[in-house]
């Protein structure tokens, strides 16, 4: 007898890149997420350009996607890390410039604290490059005071509107 199917969970994933062609990398990663068995891409934010935070190198391109998934949070993370590796991600040192970085921001109502994964993401409310695109696709997930708290961090909309939607 087969085990009952897991009910789908809504998760939000942040994407960022600042090496190579970051805009193309983010768009490809969004499409690749949608191809993972057990993951459905529901919404994608516009792309945003931001200066590095706690890092160096060229400006980043950032976005957030909403997915529905039947994967567990650790299984989703493993699939995301595989996509990062395919994009040439190297973890030379903490906050190093990168070809692709993906983080689970929110996984349903779960609170997860393990060596490999902390959800909700512990620094998401400190970063405009996460909150602005998250507020765009899930305004109920970001309070106005949280946006005001990061309003001093410059976030520039990338004007290619063809990337928006699903």
- pLDDT per position as a tens digit, 14-51: 999 988 899 999 999 999 999 999 999 999 999 999 88
Q: What is the pLDDT of residue 90?
A: 59
> Which one of 98, 123, 127, 160 is the catalytic residue?
98
Q: What is the pLDDT of residue 121?
A: 82
Calpha distance 128→2 (Å, rounded)? 44
Of 3-17, 93-107, 124-138, where does the model show the most confidence? 124-138
Domain range list for the chain? 9-158
> Which one of 32, 44, 54, 101 is the catalytic residue?
101
Residue that has been written with the tokens 């391109």 in this structure? 61
- Mean residue pLDDT across the chain: 86
Question: Active-site residue 123, yes or no?
Answer: no
- Quick check: 80 pLDDT over 90? yes
Question: Active-site residue 109, yes or no?
Answer: no
Question: Active-site residue 89, yes or no?
Answer: yes
HSE-up (13 A, CA, CB side) for residue 78: 6
Beta-carbon contacts of 112 under 8 Å, excluding residues fewer than 6 positions away, are 73, 118, 119
CATH number of 9-158: 3.30.70.560
> Which one of 103, 141, 143, 160 is the catalytic residue?
103
Question: Each residue of 61-84: b (16+ CB within 10 Å) or e?
Answer: bbbbbbbebebebeebbebbeebb
Question: Active-site residue 21, yes or no?
Answer: no
């Amino acid at each position: 007898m087969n085990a009952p199917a897991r009910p789908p969970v809504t998760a939000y994933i942040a994407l960022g890149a600042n090496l190579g062609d970051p805009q193309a990398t983010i768009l490809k990663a969004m499409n690749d997420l949608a191809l993972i068995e057990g993951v459905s891409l529901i919404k994608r934010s516009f792309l945003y350009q931001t200066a590095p935070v706690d890092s160096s190198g060229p400006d980043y391109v950032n976005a957030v996607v909403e997915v529905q998934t039947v994967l567990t949070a650790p299984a989703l993370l493993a699939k995301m890390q595989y996509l990062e590796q395919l994009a040439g991600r190297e973890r030379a040192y903490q906050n190093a410039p990168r070809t692709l970085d993906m983080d689970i921001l929110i996984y349903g109502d779960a609170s997860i604290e393990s060596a490999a994964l902390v959800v909700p993401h512990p620094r998401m409310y400190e970063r405009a490059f996460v909150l602005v695109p998250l507020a765009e696709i899930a305004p109920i997930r970001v309070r106005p005071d949280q946006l005001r708290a990061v309003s001093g961090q410059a976030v520039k909309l990338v004007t290619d509107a063809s990337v928006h939607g699903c």
